């Protein structure tokens, strides 16, 4: 196991008007030189202790990094892929010692679980599903949902993992008659699952019974919306969407995220809040992540922007560092850090306060 060189760089300068601050605490350097595609944080048991580790994905290599003292990181395992490149890491909550990845070229062709042998000495890969996979999401209680096929042959499947990471059981959900773009859990409701579809509908499933409960058409102002988070409060469903195709509005600026409220009983919905870029900032949503009440997005301009969903406005901007645009951003699932990645493989860990 080779120790990788990491470094702590200077804290970047911030716009004093923005109340949030991002402090750079650590940097992981990718020595492979291949194109970096994703990052995630997960728990991994090392020598009897569960450690908050970082997983990095390049096109053909996924690596697990364990924390050392003083914000240094050591690469302990790597999984190699020869034929199909990695598209994304699929974080599965409530599970340790396992990472899922989606592989493919433009579309997902395979989902694999990455593990280690019981003695911890060799890496293992298990094929979970293959085919024309459209959407995938890790769910609470060691579950993973994926949809494959299109229209009449669309299949929506839940895989539940055993504690040792093996695939325990599979269950099918009733498919909607339109292609699913994304899935989202409903916070606090472990049996509910949402999906957004190509026809700008939000569908609701009961995960216990597999029933498709409702199809709700949302405002057509923004096409191809991605659902990031949902919660139910006082009989209403609140949903945070991002709008990759949103056009700039002269009055509002660029809407990147939006909070909508849905009455699932009547299927009526309305917009509650638009989360736009501050004046003077240009760019559309490219990629992003929502955790608790914080949303982070990489914009087409190469900048990362963060919104406090409760305050309703952008709280921090992170311009490109070292002349390199940002290409992906994730909130850490193991603490409150922000993981920001560049195409060349460098991952920056920020503390957001």
Partner 1 sequence: CNKADLGPISLNWFEELSSEASL
Q: Which residues bind partner 1 (CB under 8 A)?
A: 189, 191-192, 204, 206, 209, 211-214, 232, 234-237, 261-266, 268-272
**Angstrom distances, CA of residue 27 to CA of 64, 71, 90, 249:** 14, 8, 22, 37
Would you give the DSSP letter of residue 93? T
d(CA 135, CA 171): 16
- Say what the alpha-carbon torsion angle 279, 337, 302, 324 is, to the nearest 10 degrees: 140
Q: Based on CB atoms, which residue is closest to partner 1, 9 or 270?
A: 270
As measured in angstroms, the least distance from the Cβ of 260 to partner 1 is 10
Between 127 and 174, CB nearer to partner 1: 174
Say how far residue 24 (Cα) sits from the centre of its chain.
21
Minimum CB separation of residue 174 from partner 1 in Å reads 9
Work out how close the CB of 262 gets to partner 1 at its nearest, in angstroms, rounded to a whole number: 8
Contact of 56 with 28, CB cutoff 8 Å: yes
> Taking the complex as a whole, how short is the minimal distance between the CB of residue 231 and partner 1, in angstroms?
12
Which token pair is 324?
């390199």
Q: Shortest approach of partner 1 to residue 261 CB, angstroms?
A: 7
Q: How far is the CB of 263 from partner 1 (least distance, A)?
A: 4
> What are the start-end ranges of the E strands in 73-225?
73-80, 86-90, 99-104, 108-116, 123-139, 143-148, 155-161, 167-173, 180-187, 189-197, 201-206, 212-217
Give whichever of 116 and 193 is closer to partner 1, judged by the CB atom: 193
As given in the structure block, the two tokens for residue 157 are: 């499947």
User: What is the DSSP pairing of strand 347-352 with strand 313-318?
Assistant: unpaired
For partner 1, the closer of residues 235 and 323 by Cβ is 235
Q: Nearer Cβ to partner 1, position 84 or 259?
A: 259
Q: Looking at beta carbons only, is 13 or 234 nearer to partner 1? A: 234
């Amino acid at each position: 196991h080779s120790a990788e060189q990491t470094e702590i760089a200077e804290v970047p300068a911030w716009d004093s008007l923005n109340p949030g601050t991002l402090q750079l605490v650590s940097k992981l350097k990718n020595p492979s030189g291949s194109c970096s595609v994703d990052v995630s944080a997960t728990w991994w048991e090392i020598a009897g202790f569960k450690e908050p580790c970082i997983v990095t994905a390049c096109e053909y290599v996924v690596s697990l990094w364990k924390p050392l003292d003083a914000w240094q990181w050591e690469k302990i395992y790597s999984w190699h892929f020869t034929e199909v490149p990695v598209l994304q890491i699929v974080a599965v909550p409530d599970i340790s010692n396992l990472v899922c990845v989606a592989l493919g070229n433009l579309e997902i062709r395979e989902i694999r679980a990455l593990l280690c042998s019981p003695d911890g000495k060799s890496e293992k890969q298990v094929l979970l599903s293959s085919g024309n996979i459209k959407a995938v999401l890790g769910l609470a209680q060691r579950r993973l949902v994926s949809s494959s096929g299109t229209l009449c042959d669309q299949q929506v499947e839940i895989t539940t993992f055993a504690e040792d990471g093996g695939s325990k059981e599979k269950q099918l959900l009733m498919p909607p008659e339109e292609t699913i773009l994304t899935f989202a859990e409903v916070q606090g409701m472990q049996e509910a699952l949402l999906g957004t579809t190509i026809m700008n509908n939000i569908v609701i499933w009961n995960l216990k019974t597999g029933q498709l409960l409702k199809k709700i058409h949302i405002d057509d102002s923004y096409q191809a919306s991605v659902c990031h988070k949902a919660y139910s409060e006082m009989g209403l469903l609140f949903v945070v969407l991002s709008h990759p195709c949103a056009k700039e509005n002269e009055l509002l600026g660029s809407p990147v995220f939006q909070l909508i409220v849905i009455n699932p009983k009547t299927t009526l919905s309305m917009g509650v809040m638009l989360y736009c870029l501050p004046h003077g900032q240009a760019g559309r949503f490219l990629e992003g992540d929502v955790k608790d009440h914080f949303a982070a997005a990489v914009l087409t301009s190469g900048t990362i922007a963060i919104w406090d969903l409760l305050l309703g406005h952008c709280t921090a901007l992170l311009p490109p560092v070292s002349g390199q645009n940002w290409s992906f951003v994730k909130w850490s699932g193991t603490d409150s850090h922000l993981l920001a990645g560049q195409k060349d493989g460098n991952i920056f860990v920020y503390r957001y306060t």
